[in-house]
Structure 1
Amino acid sequence: MLRLLNRHEEVVFDHISEVGNRYGLSVYPKVRVADVINLDAVGIDFSHKSFGLRAHFDFTISRGYDPLYAVEFDGPSHLTDVQRERDGKKDRLCQLSGLPILRVNSRHITQDFGELTLLAWIMETYEMQCGFYEAQERGQIPFDEPFDPFNLMTMQDGKFVHPLFLSESHRRQMRLLKESGRLQDFASSGIIADSIDGTMRGLEFIRVSPTHGLRVETAMRAQQFPILFSDLLGEILVIQLMERIAAYLAGEISAEPLVTIDQRIKHIQAKCRMRCSHSVSSLAREQAAT
């Protein structure tokens, strides 16, 4: 007899259910696309309609029986041309119907970035954001106040903590290292930009001397999901940079000239559309000029 979920899907299902239970969400696996999206109302061709009648979502997240969004687990098979075409059709149907879809992989369910997994962070942020906007509609929060997941606090072991501020302790470590003279800056600088295919690319760096620094680069796929993913990418970059700082201080890696970091920044700026940047003192190109 066949199983409804494979091993990886089962892990994702358990993870989604654990987070969803905290917010009264239901998780339904293997729901047919046509049972979530009204295919007759979205104006599609025969190919997309036929696909929607046959395909299913890995997981459909709902409150009660009202679908909120879909979650797809993309394993290695999603790298094939055939699967890419299917994924594209599913994404298109979600786009036309206004149904958010979140695509995750095995990295989203590891705890490499702290107590919260990336999937949990995304789901928690989405719920907090929805609650924030509902409070604005009720007049409890001013309309001109932006939603900031890093300002949210909760009580844990008698102390207020910021559960969605994944890099909080790492930023604190950087400041302490600056105060002890082991870093040149008390915090990191960086950029996040969008490539032509919609992938977000980020670079984060910090000076360890007036002429040398450490950097990390990473990317995040485009998502049809209504949260600010640049916030999450920024957190990942800082955490990865702190790991690199630790390796540098342990003598495992060397710093690189700031002029090299500046060249990488210019390369990203030339190839991508800038989304946001932040700088503690000045960007690497100014350091390289001194």
Structure 2
Amino acid sequence: MLNKEIFNKYEKVTYEKLEKVCVNVNASVFPKVRLADIFPITNSGISNEEYSFALKSHFDFTIYDNKSSQPLFAVEFDGKSHRTEIQKSRDEIKNRLVKRFNLPLLRINSLYLEEKYRNLDLLSWCVEVWFLAEYFYKAQEDGTIPYDEPFSPESILFTSGNEKKFPFFLSFDIRNEIKKLFEEKQIKSFIPNVWIGTDNNRNYYGISWLYIDNEIGIFTTSGMKAQRFPIIESELLEDIMIFDLYNKLLDFFNNKRNSVLNQEIYQRVNEFEKKYRIASASLEG
């Protein structure tokens, strides 16, 4: 008789990537841990619906500190089933509970598993940055780092086992390539332009563009759900869009496709500005 598999193929990859990061930071990954086994729900003041949900539901993955045996954060893989109204309702209850009990929750999909960002995938990037931030804040408490110095993954010069300069600055190489193309007068823009806004649910939507010359340019758009996880979504979305933008630029040089009139870019940016509240912008000029 065949036993039921605990993971689907995406969850298996997610588990392997989480384990790879956690083994180096004295943490462990546990799949399918029930919410009621993590949160002190008894007499906690949560609703009957939330109490019942916590008894029956689990996180896809929970990361624990090996020293304290305390949960650090959880990871949920949101596949196609999470698009249904029933699942959206369940996800909202889970979001309320992690907020109530102050547990970070990272929600990912299959795009987070692709190793295309300087040999990193977005899942590994998020988890590595979480642990780096913890070390950073602990060093501030110990007085090793000035208390008023902000944590920024882009400013980390080197890490052990990684030879790349600024390993967590995902668009570092691409930004340099764009600058070179500008200096060689192959494009008009000297930096990738980025505009990012939020909707009423704090989800992020952005547009990034480059001007090839005075007449034509290229652009890309993307979005990211609001996370209950200590990352700056707008900065991560900016790097993701710059990768997509650079790929479009390479396609343009190869076959002159993907370009549009600059007037169309102006119109699209204007649409974003009217529809969303500005969260961040990196603009030339």
Report the TM-score range of the alignment, normalised by the length of the smaller protein. over 0.9
Residue identity in the other structure for 1:208: I
Q: Residue in 2 aligned with 1:106? A: 110
Q: Residue in 2 aligned with 1:50? A: 52
Q: Residue in 2 aligned with 1:17? A: 19
Q: Is the 8 A contact 2:220 2:245 kept in 1?
A: yes
CA distance in 2, matches of 1:261, 1:123: 35
Please give the residue correspondences for 1:1-290 in structure 2 after superposition, counting only pairs within 5 Å.
1-40=3-42, 42-64=44-66, 65-154=69-158, 161-281=165-285
CA distance in 1, matches of 2:161, 2:61: 34
Q: Is the 8 A contact 2:156 2:168 kept in 1?
A: yes
Q: Which moved more, 1:80-89 or 1:1-10?
A: 1-10
Q: Residue in 2 aligned with 1:288? A: none
Structure 1 residue 134 displacement after superposition: 1.3
RMSD between aligned residues:
1.7
CA distance in 1, matches of 2:223, 2:78: 16
Q: Note the alpha carbon deviations across 1:122-163, whole angstroms, 9 max, x for none.
A: 011111111111111112212221111111022689966111
CA distance in 2, matches of 1:200, 1:120: 21
Moved over 3 A (4+): 155-160
Structure 1 residues without counterparts, runs of 5 or longer: 282-290
Q: Which moved more, 1:147-156 or 1:228-237?
A: 147-156
Residue identity in the other structure for 1:63: D
Q: Is the 8 A contact 1:42 1:96 kept in 2?
A: no
TM-score, normalization by structure 1: 0.92
Structure 2 residues without counterparts, runs of 5 or longer: none
CA distance in 1, matches of 2:141, 2:125: 24
CA distance in 1, matches of 2:161, 2:97: 45
SS at match of 2:201: coil
Structure 1 residue 269 displacement after superposition: 1.4
Give the fraction of aligned pairs with identical amino acids, expressed as a percent. Answer: 32
CA distance in 2, matches of 1:183, 1:90: 47
SS at match of 1:154: coil
Specify whether residues 60 and 160 from structure 1 end up closer, same or farther in structure 2 by C-alpha distance, changes over 3 A only: closer
Structure 1 residue 254 displacement after superposition: 4.4
Q: Note the alpha carbon deviations across 1:154-194, whole angstroms, 9 max, x for none.
A: 26899661110111111111111112211112211111111
SS at match of 1:47: helix
SS at match of 1:126: helix
Q: Is the 8 A contact 2:106 2:227 kept in 1?
A: yes
CA distance in 2, matches of 1:66, 1:78: 28
Number of matched residues? 281
Residue identity in the other structure for 1:88: E
SS at match of 1:40: coil
CA distance in 2, matches of 1:127, 1:101: 14
Structure 1 residue 258 displacement after superposition: 2.1
CA distance in 1, matches of 2:160, 2:202: 38
CA distance in 2, matches of 1:230, 1:209: 28
Specify whether residues 155 and 11 from structure 1 end up closer, same or farther in structure 2 by C-alpha distance, changes over 3 A only: closer
CA distance in 1, matches of 2:62, 2:161: 34
